[in-house]
Structures are given as structure tokens and as C-alpha cells.
Chains A and B, each alone.
Chain A
């Protein structure tokens, strides 16, 4: 059957199982928007800024495991998505971004709304394509989805010139795909797995350090089983939260710059570290020379380039987390492995001593609202079962430290790029994917203003997100560094002339609630969640001087934390 490129695109997306397309129209994609208009299998969500389309698709992807899909026009449409693409790239999120392009005959001519989209996005995509012939369109799209969702996932850009969307070709949904140049390894090497198992079973102070790879591979069940079988402490990166239940006694919390005392001390003293789907980021390791100095390291990662990049490891295993963990479990069970209670008991006695420091304690008795307390209350009221998106700053770290995620894909944040403005649009994607679920966006008064226009999108699509704005009147994370390392010189970290967020929410057709007394926080959050079908903006005025503790200063080792 002959179809236009635009029709092939919309058909393909529907055939591929895509539910939502997040986008914004413009000249180069008019044929595509017209084709969208003439079909009913795909739903299009009209955002208010293209950056938000990428974050919404990203939130959809993180909360479902399915790829997010974005459609924008050429030129400014394409440049506006770069931040969102880079955000997804850094956190390995599957996403396909379709950008319109000027007609092939005008490419390179400085044509109206022309930018080299493939060139601009090249450093922050897993791969990208320029489709010059409508005959190649369906297969290229298939490749894009295949690449985005397999191996180490990531964003893929498909740039489509306007004439290609008007030209006609035969269309048949390509079911199969094979690429000689791209074959990600999923199964771990059996010999390496054997060595790893031997190393973990003979450990005296074992420790699991797991990250985003566990979430991306839906491997939290296998991870939890391994943790329980070994009986060892488990720590998660910011990206790995929910991979192992936070309420489990073996969970010692976040590690790294704002990790708990017990997690960082355990890392610094363990003798065998099992790193699973984590990439030894500099926020995690602190001073690399002082990282896990006593440990032999096993590292499971699907991307060979993640292994021995920052820290040399003893047993590298290239493979998918799920696959490798299952192979390890099988072997451990076949051996009838049981940990030596006495040896492990000693290790735990030490860990409990560190834990007794209670490094996340805070004093909520004053007359200022403590942001940590607000997050604790959010956990209580949502029974720890909400999807929580966040922006970037102190509030992000408090959300990570205090919410306590028991399930994967519930914690949605920009870890690698640290993109302010991520939280609200990400929450839109999450809410669309899970219409009945409680979705909270923990944000700051700085970050929320970076994509505040999306309140309008939320109204259009009836997205009852609860925005929990921990409003400290500062670019708090910046202010904290200035307090600690720049002698309290607060250069441009103060948020002057803030809008009245309650009125602003109301102007967008939503509900706004202001809270400034500690005693009112619980009631306000409850009230917000009672309004099941409304977006509620909770403007919670928190203690402006509060800092995130513990903190590992730049250049220090993990055992050299600043504690409260």
C-alpha cells in the first residue's frame, strides 16, 4: 500500500506500540501533524515548550520501561529538545525523538528554520539518523526503536526532511531487525560469573552497590534475592533507588556525596564490593584514590565502557543485570550457599554502630518547616507508594534520602545531567502512563520556574499532579556550597521577586495551597491528595538555612563526610 512519509510515520509508531507522542508543531512537521489528525491510534500531548516534551517522554519511559516518543519541528524546535535529550542520555533512558527538517533540496542552504540537528545532537544521543529517502523511513524508525531500547538504552534522534514526509512509498511494518554493527551482549561470561560467585562467598565484609542498571533492566527482584541470600548490606545510587526495598533492614541508604554515614563507611571498609548496573560516578566515589580501598570489586554492566572506566575492577562481567544475577543465584543455590553467621554478624555489628549515628536525624520542633519533615510526611500520607519526580537541588537530595522507595520506577529524577526543570514535565509523563496513581513532584522555587508553563498542559490533559514545592527562597544547593566553600558569599543564589505561587496555580486553573507552619504541613498534604482529580500546588515555605547532610566535600574520601 502506498502511503506518504507522514502516514508511514504515524502508522509505524502505532504498530510499534507507541501510546503517546509528546510534541509541538511547526512548519517542517505540518504533514506529520496532518497525518496525526487523520488517525486515532496515537495520542498526541501538546506541551508548552519542546524541552518539556522530552522530559515528559522521559518520565513516561522511566516509569514504564517503554520508550518515550517526541515530535518537534526543525530549527528552534530541534534546539529546544537538546537539554532533554542530554538528560535522557546521561541516565540511559530509552527515547526516540523525531525532528522535522527543511526539505532535502534546501539542506545546507541556511534555509528558514534550518539547523544541523544530527550534528547538534550527535554528542548526546546513542545514535541519530537523517532520513533522505521515504523508502528508508520505516526501517530507519525500526532501527531507532531497536537501538534506543536494547543494550544500554538511550535517546535516538530521527531527523526527517519535509519532502520525505510528503513523498510516497510502500509501507509494511518491519517486524524483524538485524544490524551487523550492533549486537549488545546480554548473557554474562560463565567463567567470570563463577569467579564472582567464589569471591562473594568467601567475603568477610561483602557489600552490594547497585544503580540505575537494576531499574532499567527490571531486575529488582533478582537483586533483592541476591541481597537476601548473601545477607550483606545493600546501598543504592540516586539512580538505583527502589532497586532494593528501602524498608529492608539490609538497606543502608544512598551512598556518595550525600550518602548515609553507614553506606559510605561500609563502602570504605568492605572487602568485596558487588557493583551492579552502576557506573562509579564521581558523585558516588568522591576522591577516587580513597574509594573502597580494602575491596576486591565485581562489576556487572551491559556497557563494557562503564567497566574499569573510573575504578579498576577485579572481576568484570559484561551482561544484562537480570541475566547475570539469575546465573549467580542459580549457582549460589546449587552450592547450597549459606553465609557464615558469625563472620557476617561481626560485619553487621560494625554497620549497626555506624547506623546508630542516625546521620539523617533532624529537629522538627522549631517554628520553621524542615524540608526533610515535609518529605517524611509525604511518604506517610502516600503510604510510600507514590511516583515521585523531582527537580534538581537540595530538595532532590532530601527526596532521595527521606522518601524511602520500596519499588523500582517510582523515583524519577535527573541524576547524571542534573537538569533543573525536569520534575514537572516528567510528572506529566508519569501521570499519563499511570492515570490512577498518586504522582508527586518534589521541587524547589528555583527549579519549578524552569518549566512552569507546563501547568497549562496539565490543565488541558487533566493531570492531577501534586506539586510539593519546598520553597526555601534560595537556589539552595548553590547557597549550601557558597556557605561551606565560599565563606557565605551568596552570589546570585537568592531568589528575589518570587511569584505568588498560589495565585499562579490558580491563574492556570489549578489549586494552590500555601503552608508556612510546621503544624500545617500534614494537613495540607492530605488535603492535596484528597483532591483526586485536581492538580494542587503546595507552596511549602521551608527553613531557608537548612543544608543537606551528610556531605562529602570535593576531593575528600567517602569516610570524610561532613555530618550535621
Chain B
């Protein structure tokens, strides 16, 4: 099953490599990983998407908790949560009718065009990972020049929060 593990960790040099090293050393897979400081600059928030059986996820969370720099973590997939990913995508717009077609798609998916040249659009799109996947599929006629995805960020619904 897919799990979203949210981690609060000390904002120390090397903290990220401890997490990445743990996953490679123990053979767990990482689907995506994002990390940035929080409003408290001594803390980083990491969001890690992984897959595995219940036993593997249990080991992953225990092993992550064992890392000295990890302050707290939660498996968001265990409760109601919201996830978002941001994508920047650059497409070619030179075919006949391409510009209108792409514009329509961007509107349907509620994205923004954030840069334009005579031959390209750069689109910004935010949503669940599967929405971004769907947009890429829908674009199939317009040649994609470049995609950049941020990886998943997620937060629990309601008043619950992950903090020290």
C-alpha cells in the first residue's frame, strides 16, 4: 500500500542523507521525497511517499524514529489528509491549433500559464499526484519539453497537527 510519512527533524547538515541512506541500506523504496525548513528554522519537515506491506511500513517508521535527528513522524495515510504536488511543465506549441488546445486543457485542469514564448508555454499545475498524471496523459498531442515535479507534500485534515 501507498503511505505518506511526514517527518519533523532537526535541521542539521546530513539529516537528509541519514533518511536516504536508511532507505537504500534496508532496501525500502522511496517514491518521492520533499524537504524544507518549517516556520521554526531549527526544524525541517520531510514528506516521504513509499509503498510496502504493513510489516515493512512498521519497520520503516520504527527505523526512521530511531534516527537521532528525527523528532516526530506520522503516517498520514492512516487518517484523513490532504496531499498536493506542484508541477512545472514546458510544452511546444508549434502545431496547428496547439496553443488553443493546450490553453483549454490548462483551464480544465485549473493550471496557470506562467511563461510564454512564440513556440512554448510553461505551465504551473498543483493538485494530487494522480491529477498531475492525468494532465500529462491529456497533453499527449503536445510534445513535452520538460517536466519538474515537487514531490508530494501532505498535511492531515482537521485540527490535528504534527508539531513539537
* Alpha-carbon separation in the docked complex, A127 to B18 (Å): 9
CB neighbors of B among A281-324 (8 A):
303-305, 308-309
Contacts A122-B18, A130-B14 known; list 14 others, CB within 8 Å. A118-B14, A122-B17, A122-B21, A123-B21, A127-B68, A180-B71, A181-B69, A181-B71, A182-B68, A303-B66, A304-B66, A305-B62, A305-B65, A308-B58
Instruction: Answer yes or no: B124 CB below 8 A from chain A CBs.
Output: no
Closest to A126 in B: B68
Instruction: Find the B residue at minimum CB distance from A118.
Output: B14
Knowing A123-B25, A304-B62, A308-B58 are in contact, say whether A181-B68 is a contact too (CB < 8 A). yes
Residue of B nearest to A119 (CB): B17
Residues 122-148 of A at the B interface (beta carbon under 8 Å)? 122-123, 126-127, 130, 147
Which residue of chain B is the closest to A305 with respect to CB atoms? Answer: B62
Chain A residues contacting B18 (CB-CB under 8 Å) are 122
The answer, among B9, B21, B59, B68, for a CB contact under 8 Å with A147, is B68
* Chain B residues positioned under 8 Å from A181 (CB to CB): 9-10, 68-71
Of the listed residues A127, A181, A303, A309, the one surrounded by the most CB atoms of chain B closer than 10 A to its CB is: A181
Known: A119-B17, A181-B9. A305 touches B59 (CB 8 A): yes
A309 to B63, CA, bound (A): 11
What band does the interface of chain A fall in when counting residues whose beta carbon is under 8 Å from B?
10 to 19
Residues in chain A near residue B69, CB distance under 8 A? 181
Chain B residue at minimal CB-CB distance from A143: B68
Residues of B at the A interface (CB closer than 8 Å) are: 9-10, 13-14, 17-18, 21, 25, 55, 58-59, 62-63, 65-66, 68-71, 164
**For the complex of A and B, 6 pairs with smallest distance between CB atoms:** A305-B62, A127-B68, A181-B71, A304-B62, A123-B25, A182-B68
Report how far A182 CA is from B65 CA in the complex, Å: 9
User: Which A residues are in CB contact (< 8 Å) with B58?
Assistant: 308
CB-based nearest B residue for A184: B66
Chain A nearest CB from B7 CB (Å) reads: 11
Q: Could you tell me the distance in whole angstroms from the C-beta of A404 to the nearest C-beta in chain B?
A: 35
CA distance A303 to B59 in the complex (A): 11
Cα of A181 to Cα of B18 in the assembled complex, Å:
14
Q: CB-CB < 8 A to A305: which residues of B?
A: 59, 62-63, 65-66
Complex Cα distance, B69 from A304, in Å, reads 17
Contact residues in A for B25 (Cβ distance below 8 Å): 123
- 16 A-B contacts (beta carbon < 8 Å): A118-B14, A123-B25, A126-B68, A130-B13, A181-B68, A181-B70, A181-B71, A182-B68, A304-B62, A305-B59, A305-B62, A305-B63, A305-B65, A305-B66, A308-B55, A308-B58
- Complex Cα spacing A180 to B8, Å: 11
A182–B71 alpha-carbon span in the complex (Å):
7
Instruction: Name which residue of chain A comes closest to B68, CB basis.
Output: A127
Known: A123-B25, A127-B68, A181-B69. A309 touches B59 (CB 8 A): yes
Residues of B within 8 Å of A118, CB to CB, are 14
CA gap between A194 and B17 in the complex, in Å:
41
A65 to chain B minimum Cβ distance, whole angstroms, is 22
Residues of B within 8 A of A126 (CB): 68
Closest residue of chain A to B8 (Cβ to Cβ) is A181
Q: Give Cα A510 to B103, complex, Å.
A: 88
Given A123-B25, A304-B65, decide whether A180 and B17 contact each other with a Cβ distance below 8 A: no
Closest to A304 in B: B62
Determine the chain B residues whose CB is within 8 A of the CB of A182 once the complex forms.
68
Q: What A residues does B164 contact at CB under 8 A?
A: 180
Which chain A residue has the least Cβ–Cβ distance from B25? A123
Give the Cβ gap from A136 to chain B, nearest Cβ, in Å: 11
**Which B residues are in CB contact (< 8 Å) with A303?**
66
